[in-house]
Amino acid sequence: MTLRARLVLMGAALPALGLLAAFMVGGVVFRLALLARIDQGLLGQAAAESVSLFDGGRNAHLHVDRSPIELARQAAARSALYGPKGDRLHVSGEATDFPARWDAQRPLTPTLHTLPDGSARELQSGLPGIDGTYLLVMRAPLTTFQATMTAYWVITGLLAALVGVVLVGLQLLHAFRLEGRVRRLAEHMAQVRTGDLSARPQPDGVGDVISRLRDDVALTTAQLESVQAAQERLVADAAHELRTPLAAVRATVDTTLRRPREAAELVEALDTVRTEVDRLSALTTRLLDLARVQGGEADTALVDLRAVIDQATSAARPLAEAQEIALLVRGPREAPLHGDAGALRQAVDNLLSNAVRHGPVGSVVALELQATQAGWRLTVIDEGPGVPAADRQRIFEPFARGDRRAPGTGLGLSIVKAVAQQHHGQIRLGDGPGGRFELWLPAG
């Protein structure tokens, strides 16, 4: 069943059936209520006649046709009184449709029924008299009752039909619009499945949950397009970075094979090849590290971030001392948080390596650890030239390097960013002279 058909069925067809059922039940209840009022009038009139049947002496008679009230006299025109022997003693007004004799069994209690032709409601009631049981027969015409019921069925039926038509029409309109909105989202998702991330779902300003779904789908599509573009750039940059050392290896081997070489020349060529192979190995290791960090959630445990910083500083100190760079760590002696110790160590190593590589000879690289409201902030500061303004937006992208001649793969800061995101933190460039990187990590 289509969405449109389901909406029409649940929002219009079933309510319309419920409205029809309520209309029919209401008519039945209304009819019974009207008949009950007529019966109450007949019973009241019969009770009044029973207590005054012999108030004028021994002759039984009816009083309602002597009433000064016109309506009462009209009602009495449909009454008849029969004696104990079955002969008709009295007829109210012009009621000529009562038989001259009534030999049928007389009810001990009042009975009510509608005449077979539906023209009147009849009451039969036995009345005890001096010489036996009398019978009072009263008939209330149903002309007004039938006119009232006809008016009910016509007016209420028309109103119910009008409401049903309006309900079905509105639900059809709503179903068409809703199905169209959902269909457009489905068509967009079909485009996304084929790999086309350039389009966006059509604007939807209704403001309901489908509008919010549309906005989320549009945002997700934009994020997927950004990720796809980043992956394509990563593949292209990785191919370029891998091609350079491979080309150097190929050129060295081709040059060496052009003519016979002395042993010293062969050793020199092999050293060149080994250097390029080391570059390839470092690059592939970094790529694998980036893929591993980006590939899943952190294996969290209680970690002392200060201990991780001290270990990374100790490991980087020989390289720093070789460049006459001093490493300075400031902050609390303990910094507990939940995280992946290996990934955090890799991030600190990369920040330290980046700072030492760009710091001038005789400078200081400072690592400042501070507690924040939600966790910890590690700031790594060097006295180097800093990041050019043109590179601040892309410094954390893979293979992004301000100076292409500088050593390195251009993946270190990308790995730091991935580790920060893996721990639900962030890495950003700080303000101030030199290089300044701020790593924010939540404690939980």
What CATH number does residue 364 fall under? 3.30.565.10
Q: In whole angstroms, how far apart are CA 302 and each of 174, 230, 305, 414?
A: 54, 33, 9, 25
Domain shared by 274 and 395, yes or no: no
Domain encompassing residue 313: 298-442
pLDDT of residue 151: 92
Domain shared by 282 and 304, yes or no: no
- On whether residue 420 sits in a domain, the answer given is yes
Domain shared by 36 and 74, yes or no: yes
- On whether residue 152 sits in a domain, the answer given is no
Domain shared by 72 and 28, yes or no: yes
Residue 383 has which token pair? 């006295």
Do the Cβ atoms of 101 and 118 come closer than 8 Å?
no
pLDDT (tens digit per residue) in 162-221 = 888 888 888 888 878 888 888 888 888 888 888 888 888 888 777 778 888 888 888 888
Domain shared by 45 and 131, yes or no: yes
**Domain count along the chain:** 3
- On whether residue 324 sits in a domain, the answer given is yes
pLDDT (tens digit per residue) in 379-436 = 999 988 888 777 777 788 776 655 544 555 667 788 888 888 888 899 988 877 778 8
In 214-225, which positions are buried (b, 16+ CB within 10 angstroms) versus exposed (e)?
Answer: beebbeebeeeb
Domain shared by 130 and 209, yes or no: no
User: Which of 274, 295, 316 is the last residue before a domain boundary?
Assistant: 295
User: Which of 295, 316, 351 is the last residue before a domain boundary?
Assistant: 295
Cβ neighbours of residue 347 closer than 8 Å, sequence gap 6 or more = 415, 416, 419, 420, 439
pLDDT of residue 336: 92
Domain shared by 219 and 304, yes or no: no
- On whether residue 25 sits in a domain, the answer given is yes
User: Which of 295, 319, 335 is the last residue before a domain boundary?
Assistant: 295
- What pairs with residue 309 in β-bridges? none
pLDDT of residue 69: 47
Return averaged pLDDT per consecutive 10 residues of the chain, 444 residues in all: 72 80 90 90 82 69 59 58 86 75 81 89 84 85 89 90 84 81 85 82 79 86 77 65 74 82 82 80 71 66 92 89 91 91 88 89 92 91 82 74 56 84 88 85 84
Domain shared by 312 and 409, yes or no: yes
Please report, for the domain that includes residue 62, its CATH number. Answer: 3.30.450
Do the Cβ atoms of 134 and 53 come closer than 8 Å?
yes
- On whether residue 169 sits in a domain, the answer given is no
Domain shared by 280 and 316, yes or no: no
- On whether residue 171 sits in a domain, the answer given is no
pLDDT of residue 294: 65
Domain shared by 324 and 425, yes or no: yes
Please report, for the domain that includes residue 269, its CATH number. Answer: 1.10.287.130
- On whether residue 348 sits in a domain, the answer given is yes
Residue 251 has which token pair? 């050129």
pLDDT of residue 399: 66
- On whether residue 176 sits in a domain, the answer given is no
Domain shared by 304 and 290, yes or no: no
Domain shared by 315 and 337, yes or no: yes
